[in-house]
Chain A
Amino acid sequence: MTPSGEVPSGTSPALLLLMGKDRRSEGYGLAAWLVMGAVVIAIALLCISLGSVSLPLKVTWQTLWDAILGREAADGVAASILVHVRTPRVLAAGLSGAALALCGASMQGLLRNPLADGSTLGVSSGASLGAVLALAFGFQLPGLPYAGTMLMAIAFAFLSMLLILALAYAFDRSFSTHTIILVGVIFSMFAGSLITLVMAFSGEKLRSIAFWTMGSLAGSDYTQGLLLTLTLMACGGLLVLRAGELNAFAIGEENAHHIGIDVRSVKLQVLISVSALIGVAVSIGGTIGFVGLIIPHMVRLLTGPNHRRLLPASAFAGAGFLMLCDLLARTLLSPVELPIGVVTSIIGAITFVAIIFRRRGRRAA
């Protein structure tokens, strides 16, 4: 299959279906879903087995299987590391990566802008502001160490979204994408300056706030994984179901209106879903840049722009990418841990430049 979506003539209908070129659905066939799932699970197992204490894949798999079945593990220390530390962290990384990539792919389609991602709307900055305020003022819930930060991030993500949408609507009743982008960018800058202000007066908490803003999945637990899973199922599921409408938006908003799409309603559904996903992801992992921008770009080169293939493939690729970045973050300079946002930004920036050069080279050829 080429980036433009062409399929060699003579390909059998059964193979076309497996490749996801079923003419009616335009989506992936069962085999493609299974392959993508298997690759992500393999990456997850690799990431769980590697770390400061590395274990063979077989032992990792056996320990996890024992834990799932509720059996006593042979090596209690290894089981404790794998089950209580690494697995929830890798789970959080995978689910956050899937959420961020899904948001990026959706926003790039909705706004017809390949440079858009979940943070374009400004919700990401809003969520960060909430979390930074919680860290700076020590807002905590009794017995739940991270819940205060998470709750504030989610609350601020939703408040930011409401404010951004209300302002966009007040400026422009037609709710145009240009106005939404403009308001989002202005709000991001505003929230960014407030974060800097809070950090300037945060005293001894500056280090922990600065580390959080660079992104980290250390200390992730199963509750966070569950929250991410539920949000991903509800909001990510809605985005995937709206793939056809996103195709129409990616072609043109006027065209989308002409073919009978309820432009305003779909736009709101997508923006609210993206905001919720970003809010939850930021509340758990901090600001993790470039995943929402770079992953859909790379995936689009393989799948073409059709959101029926792009969205699920981006989610799987985002999950794999962030799990591997998290692995690098905790092993590259071990025992020192790098902020995951730094790893994603370095890899993302280099990859982005490479893609641009490759494209320019191809055009020149």
Chain B
Amino acid sequence: MMLEARRITLSYGPHEAVKDVSLHLEEGQCLMVIGPNGAGKSSLIAALSGSKPYAGTVLLNGQDSKALSPRGRARLVGVLSQRQAVHYAFTVEEVVRLGRYPHRKGWFSGADPAGEAMVDRALAWTGMGEMRSRSILSLSGGERQRAFLAQVLAQDPAILMLDEPADSLDLKYQKTLFELTETWARQPGKAVISVVHDLSIARRYGSHAMLMHHGKCVAQGEKAVVLKADNLNTAYGMDVYAWMRDLSRPWI
């Protein structure tokens, strides 16, 4: 098992954003975390990636996440956050190359051709190759998100955690992103957890799903089971299927 989380609770002061959530992720799985606003999806990612202090246990490849060194954890888990605020004019290439940090041997380790090749591949996968010398400040929100996606791909972690990754992307790059993650999860020793709002994307690209509501897990497992009308209607407080049917009526 690549990731096992037992009874995770994450609080902001008196408010419990994630309450007693357990989950597991096997190799090759692409777990889509869905739920309404404030359900605790991003907080769950923060706990699983060790970004925020939490109660409970997270095992990464059988090792307790809290016992891992920051570099060791970053080799196992890579995170693409919701928003990327940058203040200085780093080039895209410099931002992406930082993804190789957990693999760096030491201060005087010299050249890293394999790492450089990974940076080049990540830039190519995300369509940022031609923008590699551009300042990150000159990019649009979507382009910036792709640069940081390239960074996390260059990081080459075992588990890719994406927190609403498609928010600022146009349709072409949404498709590219989720196809990439789908391909990523198929590699040996890899898996993906992604927070998404779009249920169609969860259904199309996820192998499994987890539905959250008020910080708790309402359902998890095979996507077909989790995405049942009853579960969705309870979590979202509306007739989800009716709205989806309305949206998917032929419009051209």
Contact = CB atoms under 8 A, between A and B. Distances in A.
Do A and B come together as binding partners?
yes
Given A259-B74, A260-B70, A251 B88 contact: yes
A304 B112 CA distance: 23
B101 interface: yes
A327 B190 CA distance: 62
Interface secondary structure of A, over-half rule? loop
Contact of B87 (A3, A4, A112, A304): A112
B101 A305 contact: no
Contacts of B90: 5, 247, 250-251, 304-306
A58 interface: no
B140 interface: no
B157 to A, nearest CB: 9
Given A252-B85, A305-B88, A4 B71 contact: no
Interface string B124-150: 000000000111111000000000100
Contact of A5 (B79, B85, B94, B148): B94
A260 B75 contact: yes
Interface in B71-87: 71-75, 78-79, 81, 84-87
A248 interface: yes
14 contacts: A4-B133, A4-B137, A5-B91, A5-B133, A5-B135, A248-B101, A251-B90, A255-B151, A258-B79, A260-B69, A260-B70, A262-B70, A300-B88, A304-B90
Interface of A: 3-7, 23-24, 26, 109, 112-114, 241, 244, 247-248, 250-252, 254-255, 257-263, 300, 304-306
Interface of B: 49-51, 69-75, 78-79, 81, 84-91, 93-95, 97-99, 101-102, 104, 107, 110-112, 116, 133-138, 148, 151-152, 155
Given A258-B49, A304-B89, 10 more contacts: A4-B91, A4-B137, A5-B91, A6-B133, A241-B107, A251-B95, A257-B51, A260-B69, A260-B73, A305-B89
